[in-house]
């Protein structure tokens, strides 16, 4: 069996690491990795392949720094050429990026079966490019691997049981990766010593989504909130290169600690030792939960509604006062973190078993 796997953005490298490692142990499966180039900075891309022992991509398409339409179109054309050359049994895509949609669309038009890992997620905000990508990818996928029962229910509500596809609640592939790298990062990461951080005495924050970075009012409000929280508890922000440029462009001055994007080992260490997490990232919301950290989400909606319902996550949007209030609330919150919400850590095995059966 041959699988062509499409990746292009940082979270997808993490997800792919768990599944690719399991595929390598299967003699009957050949995986061809395609890197679209959507994340091209070394700290956002190449370092992941080195650090996480992911096989080097056979194809690197080097497509980035374009508008959504231009990027997706270029990827669609290039991926089509790869699929024509490789003739796989399945094309496997992750998440909700332009790379995801381009890979799924190219495969479907060539009558190659599509497997979507992290299917069924919904923020119910069609202004988000990611929401459009995930809805369209789900609709044309043959195998929908859902991370939670909520994701399965979303698909059922949209009528997917009447479509010619297979829906499987296999747990969260990110949870499997987090478990694997948690112990490894404890031995390999020195990020806390390098930054002079004390376990449990700092806030980790990330800001990168366009809904925040491309809206000056929202971006200014978030920066003010982080500055205010930094007066009470040190705030550390690994900052996306694009966001850093926007801060400079708008003359927004961070009074918290800004660092370059870090590799996954360092990010696991920063997350697992933080007192609190603030983020607009979908993946980091979950990783905070995996490491039993409360999270303030800098968005108006989240795909991970079960975290909000469980009290592990507060949606604060980009409102300065709400962000500060939510952070203060969660820093004082104590309680146990429910087990099993995202599966048992064996997601990759279930995906491979389903694809083998489907072949």
Give me the residue spans of the domains in the chain: 2-172+343-358, 180-331
Q: Which fold has domain 2-172+343-358?
A: Rossmann fold (3.40.50)
> Do 2-172+343-358 and 180-331 come out as alike in CATH topology?
yes
Measured between alpha carbons, how far is 47 from 64 in angstroms, rounded to an integer? 17
How do the pLDDT tens digits run along the chain, 359 residues long? 999 999 998 789 889 989 998 998 888 999 999 999 987 655 545 666 677 777 788 999 999 989 999 999 999 999 999 999 999 999 999 999 999 999 999 999 999 999 999 999 999 999 889 999 999 999 999 999 999 999 999 999 999 999 999 999 999 999 999 988 888 888 999 999 999 999 999 999 999 988 999 999 999 999 999 999 999 999 999 998 889 999 999 999 999 999 998 888 899 999 999 999 999 998 899 999 999 999 999 999 998 999 999 999 999 999 999 999 999 999 989 888 887 899 999 999 999 999 999 87
What distances in angstroms separate CA 221 from CA 215, 225, 267, one per listed residue? 10, 6, 25
Asked if 208 is an active-site residue, the reply is yes
Q: Which of 64, 208, 240, 273 is catalytic?
A: 208
Place of tokens 């603030």: 278
Contact 260/43 with Cβ under 8 angstroms?
A: yes
Residues 6+ apart with CB under 8 A from 79: 6, 34, 36, 61, 102, 103, 106, 107
Instruction: Report pLDDT for 241.
Output: 83
Nearest to 65 by CA among 327, 245, 223, 297: 245
| b/e burial code for range 129-147 (CB count within 10 A of at least 16 → b) | bbbebbbebbbbbbbbbbb
Distance CA 4, CA 341 (A): 29
User: Torsion angle, CA of 337/340/342/348, rounded to 10 degrees?
Assistant: 140
- CATH number 3.40.50.2000 is the correct assignment for the domain at 180-331: yes
């Amino acid at each position: 069996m041959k699988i062509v796997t499409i990746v292009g953005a940082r979270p997808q490298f993490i997800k792919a690491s768990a599944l690719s490692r399991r595929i390598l142990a299967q003699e009957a499966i050949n995986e061809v990795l395609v890197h679209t180039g959507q994340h091209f900075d070394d700290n956002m891309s190449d370092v992941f392949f080195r650090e996480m022992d992911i096989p080097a991509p056979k194809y690197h398409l080097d497509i980035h720094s374009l508008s959504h339409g231009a990027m997706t179109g270029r990827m669609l054309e290039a991926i089509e050429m790869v699929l024509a050359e490789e003739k796989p049994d399945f094309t496997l895509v992750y998440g909700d990026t332009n790379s995801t949609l381009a890979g799924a669309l190219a495969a479907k038009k060539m009558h190659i079966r599509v497997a979507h890992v992290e299917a069924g997620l919904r923020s119910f905000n069609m202004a988000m490019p990611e929401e459009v990508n995930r809805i369209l990818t789900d609709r044309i996928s043959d195998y929908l691997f859902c991370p939670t029962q909520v994701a399965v229910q979303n698909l059922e509500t949209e009528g997917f049981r009447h479509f010619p596809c297979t829906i499987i609640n296999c747990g969260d592939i990110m949870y499997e990766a987090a478990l694997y790298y948690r112990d490894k990062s404890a031995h390999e990461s020195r990020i806390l010593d390098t930054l002079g951080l004390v376990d449990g005495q700092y806030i980790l924050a990330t800001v990168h989504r366009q809904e925040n970075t491309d809206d000056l009012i929202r971006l200014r409000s978030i920066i003010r909130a982080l500055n205010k929280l930094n007066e009470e508890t040190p705030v550390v922000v690994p900052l996306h290169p694009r966001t850093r440029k926007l801060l400079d462009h708008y003359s927004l001055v961070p009074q918290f600690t800004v660092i370059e994007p870090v590799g996954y080992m360092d990010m696991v260490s920063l997350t697992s030792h933080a007192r609190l997490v603030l983020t607009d990232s979908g993946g980091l919301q979950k990783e905070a939960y995996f490491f039993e950290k409360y999270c303030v989400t800098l968005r108006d909606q989240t795909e991970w509604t079960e975290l909000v319902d469980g009290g592990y996550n507060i949606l604060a949007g980009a409102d300065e006062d709400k962000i500060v209030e939510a952070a203060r609330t969660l820093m004082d919150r104590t309680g146990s973190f429910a087990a099993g919400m995202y599966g048992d850590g064996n997601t990759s095995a279930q995906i491979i078993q389903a694809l083998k059966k489907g072949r």
